[in-house]
Structure 1
Amino acid sequence: MGSSQQNDSSSNHEEEADILQAMHLASISSLPFTLKVVVDLGLLEIIAKAADTPPGTVSIADIVSKLPTNNPNAHSIVDRMLKLLATHSILTCNQITGQDGLTQRSYGLSSVGKYFLQNKDGVSFVPMLRILLEKYVVECWKFLKDVTLEGGFSCKKAFGKHLFELLADDDDMSECFNRLMSIDTTFTMNQVLKNYKGFEGVSQVVDVGGGVGTNLKLIVSKHPQIRGINFDLPQVIKDAIPCPGVEHIAGDMFMEIPKAEVIFFKWVLHDWGDDQCLKLLKVCYDALPKNGKNVSVEAIIPEVPETDIISKTILERDIVLFQFFQVLKRGPNKSSRH
């Protein structure tokens, strides 16, 4: 009898946990939208400044006092938002007692939260947050069901244009997208250059779809014998970073690629289907000398999805890319498509 009660109790706890997890997933969109508002209000910058003075946290009253508002409800709204971020370890939260004897919450910036500061020079995921919550991206989700049943791709159905055409018409979004690509490149290329030795002894590299030039800036910095050519669309090249040893050239990669000993792709092939990739690789082949090589950096989709943070991050990016490019990502086996 006791054993039966224990089994029933365990089953009830498991069911409760499953229900809570389902509720959490159904409302998870509240997190990125709340985080964006907190970023846009500059609240993380306010909290970060408090880290330099004891006790390293700042009260809600002090945070709200730095906002340009007379709204009597601002204190409550800000506290609601920051509590949510604390539950996701973006902020730390403690209760403090004021001189009036009343308690209130005090917030600090966590090691994760620092990556959502609007850092112009370091790694910041604010551009990613803003891009993913832009009207273009949000609107695309409404068409995923139609794309599943009818074909096509969400961006085209929503706006009648490819993502890169939208970027060409929106300077603010284009700048944010280029900033995002630059940050992503810095993180990825540091790992590539740490482990890949194929740039040693190379004299010239063309980075196709190289954005504002961050890839080549890092490559040339580690291998100064290399002369780099950063190749991308005109609306991207106009924002390119001046860099010694790197020349920026605008053009269409499906038409012609500048000749070089190494032609480098990072996060390029995943934007296109098989036919476009074959066309691009043929143009690449024509631009390579006899002993030249193509170096491609891509994320590989796992055959069986796991629940670890790496798998979640890769598959979240995969579904976002699908919205814009209708690309079926490649798995670890060359014949495997997802």
Structure 2
Amino acid sequence: MDLSYEMYSSSELLDAQAHVWNTAYNFISSMSLKCAIELGIPDIIHNNGQPLLFSKLIESLPIHPSKAHCIRRLMRLLVHSGFFAIQQQQDQEEEEEEQYSLTLPSKLLVKEGSLNMAPLLLTNLDPVFTTSWHFLSTWFQKKDSTVFETTHKRTMWDFAALDTSFNSKLNELMASDSKLIAKILLREYKEVFEGVKSLVDVAGGTGTMAKAIACTFPLMNCTVFDLPHVVADLKASENLNFIGGNMFEAIPPANAILLKWILHDWNDEDCVTILKNVKKQFPRKMKVDKKSTETQLYFDVLMMAETSGKERNQTEWEKLFLAAGFSDYKVTPLFGLRSLIEVYP
């Protein structure tokens, strides 16, 4: 059957073409930001203490002199993307020169910042991850559980256990996210931890979230529980310790169990297994805008490609909690695209 475009106006055809173009070139935005981080641009502007002239930026960058004019083009895109702000500055000779300053998103990419999210971006754009996306269509034709497995012949977790460099990057990624979430959680919803005597952070990585909680609540005994190779070299403190193990086999007992950004990594069957192990430790007794939806869809496909998990709506979460034997739950939208979920035995 022939496909005719005669029914569409020139404007509609050009809009459709632009939509294809923008989708095809979306990767340029993230790769350009990766380049800026690797060159140290957010740090250079931050360390200047005030908006930085383009000429001063060039002087500070580790680039070949022939590439100086290209930095202006890179910055033009990143200004458009909202990562930097620009204004014109007149010098004594009345010549205008660009002046760059940080925006809030780029402030989250400064290395010395307490909420530095650069590891999250750099790790997700590492070739180990990005190569997998070239095999997405191949994965759909195979029985492999993830695209990562199709690409690297093992799961992401097994790959991390064998590759210390990748494991370190993965831990840094999770830690960078935990710093921001811990700050918001302990600022806005601190009362959820009041009266809790002991807490286990399941798959808590290097302990960034648990450390923040332990520091805020010095009388609470906090435990980070993760795979042995993740916690092997981590040092305990007065009210924080580390235990190696497998959450699919058993979870250490505590008054409260924390699962941060964990269950979306796993399929429904695995989630029920994890939640049942959580349940054993206890005795019996939102409107979303288009941009947010797009981000959630990105994460869902990301989980599909790299793990065996998915993002879930409230109905799907309820099904898992009930299947694991919990009696009730509470969802509090608190972290932008994410929520704090409390489940009760």
Range with greater deviation from structure 2 (183-192 or 160-169):
183-192
Give the whole-Å Cα distance in 2 for the aligned partners of 1:250 and 1:111: 37
Give the whole-Å Cα distance in 2 for the aligned partners of 1:19 and 1:336: 42
- Give the 3 Å change call, closer, same or farther, for CA 186–30 of structure 1 in structure 2: same
Give the whole-Å Cα distance in 1 for the aligned partners of 2:212 and 2:60: 39
- Give the 3 Å change call, closer, same or farther, for CA 154–72 of structure 1 in structure 2: same
Q: Which of 201, 208, 213 is the aligned partner of 1:214?
A: 208
Give the whole-Å Cα distance in 1 for the aligned partners of 2:118 and 2:92: 36
CA offsets, 1:117-167, max 9 Å, x none? 123x51122111111111111111012112234342100000011112222
- In the TM superposition, residue 275 of structure 1 has moved relative to its aligned partner by 2.2
Preserved CA contact (<8 Å) 1:59 1:106? yes
- In the TM superposition, residue 170 of structure 1 has moved relative to its aligned partner by 2.8
Matches within 5 A, 1:169-248: 169-193=162-186, 194-195=188-189, 197-238=191-232, 240=234, 242-248=236-242
Matched, 1:109 2:92: no
Q: Which of 157, 162, 167 is the aligned partner of 1:164?
A: 157
Give the whole-Å Cα distance in 1 for the aligned partners of 2:93 and 2:233: 53
Give the whole-Å Cα distance in 2 for the aligned partners of 1:221 and 1:162: 34
Matches within 5 A, 1:40-189: 40-50=38-48, 52=49, 56-69=50-63, 71-98=64-91, 102-119=95-112, 121-152=113-144, 153-189=146-182
CA offsets, 1:55-108, max 9 Å, x none? x32233222222344x33221121111111111121112334455665443322
Give the whole-Å Cα distance in 2 for the aligned partners of 1:99 and 1:192: 49
Range with greater deviation from structure 2 (89-98 or 175-184):
89-98
CA offsets, 1:271-298, max 9 Å, x none? 1112222322333333x14258xxxxxx
Aligned partner letter, 1:171 = T
Aligned partner letter, 1:184 = D
Q: Which of 277, 285, 290 is the aligned partner of 1:307?
A: 290
Question: Identity, % of aligned pairs?
Answer: 24
Matches within 5 A, 1:257-336: 257-286=251-280, 288-291=281-284, 306-308=289-291, 310-334=292-316
Secondary structure in 2 matching 1:161: coil
Number of paired residues? 309
Secondary structure in 2 matching 1:112: helix
For structure 1, the residue ranges without an aligned partner over 5 or more in a row are: 1-10, 293-301
Preserved CA contact (<8 Å) 2:265 2:310? no
Alignment partner, residue 35 of structure 2: 37
For structure 2, the residue ranges without an aligned partner over 5 or more in a row are: 1-8, 321-345
Give the whole-Å Cα distance in 2 for the aligned partners of 1:183 and 1:285: 29
Aligned partner letter, 1:262 = A
TM-score (norm 1): 0.80
Give the whole-Å Cα distance in 1 for the aligned partners of 2:108 and 2:192: 31
- In the TM superposition, residue 15 of structure 1 has moved relative to its aligned partner by 6.4
Preserved CA contact (<8 Å) 1:118 1:124? yes
TM-score (norm 2): 0.79
